Amino acid sequence: GPGTDTLLQTDGLTKRFGGFTAIDDVDFSVETGELRCLIGPNGAGKSTLLKLITGRHDATSGAIYYDGTDITTRRPNERVDLGIGMKFQVPSVFDELTAYENMRLSVQRTHADAHLDEAILDALERIDLAARATTPAGELSHGQQGRLEIGMAAALEPDLLLLDEPVAGLSVEERNEVADLVTELNDDGIAFIVIEHDIDFVAEIAHEVTVLHGGEVFREGSIEAIRDDDDVRRIYLGG
């Protein structure tokens, strides 16, 4: 079974779509407070693995343990209540609502009415958006929207936060802001699994890296070791 510092562990996790095996017998684990990046070529199974962890997909076989509990068949909302948060690849803020109103949707789930306004403003402060509180989310920059989504996920007070390509399409400056935010939240004790293509972004934030390829764990190790691995380079080049 999972060790004492293990927050999340998958055991022989497998996901088939019809006859196609997207996740193939994967043993993957995240320690409490760890920041792990998940990389791999397109179609490697990265998003599918996160969707299995959140419960958006049911496992075909194998098991998922979270904080010592078998969550393999738990509903997605139960997993959120247990402390698993997610920012999806697709934007999920409401464009017509202001930054404040968007943030309220998350903060009201963890704070009593008496402290709501203060908690919302604190949460906006944390993502450097307090000055844009009354701006409709649709008018924020992509970087600001990304920070708002991560801030909304963090406001649910998860122990583990899953981010699927959080800096896709962002400028270098915006990417650095997201890197700083993720690092701060991790320093506050939130463990992360971050899917990312940009190896420079990975190098900036990650402790440890897992490489998925063809639905299997291909390599695991430090960013330095992974970056210098010829076999990892080869799969990225499609060889």
- In the complex, the residues that contact Mg ion under the rule CB under 5 A are 47
**In whole angstroms, how far apart are CA 55 and each of 28, 71, 86, 220?**
16, 9, 11, 24
40 or 158, CB closer to ligand ADP?
Answer: 40
26 or 155, CB closer to Mg ion?
Answer: 26
32 or 60, CB closer to ligand ADP?
Answer: 60
21 or 92, CB closer to ligand ADP?
Answer: 21
| CB 41 to ligand ADP: min, Å | 7
Residues binding ligand ADP (CB under 6 A): 17, 20, 22, 40, 42-48
Q: Is 30 helix (H, G, I), strand (E, B) or coil?
A: strand
39 or 179, CB closer to Mg ion?
Answer: 39
| CB 100 to ligand ADP: min, Å | 32
3-state secondary structure 131-196: HHCCCEHHHCCHHHHHHHHHHHHHHCCCCEEEEECCCCCCCHHHHHHHHHHHHHHHHCCCEEEEEC
H/E stretch holding 20 reads strand 20-31
Per-residue tokens: 189: 């004790």
Under 8 Å CB-to-CB from 59, ≥6 apart: which residues? 13, 14, 15, 52, 72
Token look-up 């992509």 returns: 142
| CB 19 to ligand ADP: min, Å | 10
146, interface contact from ligand ADP, Mg ion, none, CB < 5-8 Å by kind: none
Strand 69-70 and strand 84-87: the pairing is unpaired
98, interface contact from Mg ion, ligand ADP, none, CB < 5-8 Å by kind: none
Burial class for 112, CB neighbours closer than 10 Å (0-12, 13-18, 19+): exposed
| CB 88 to Mg ion: min, Å | 10
| CB 197 to ligand ADP: min, Å | 9
62 or 166, CB closer to Mg ion?
Answer: 166
4, interface contact from Mg ion, ligand ADP, none, CB < 5-8 Å by kind: none
| CB 81 to Mg ion: min, Å | 25
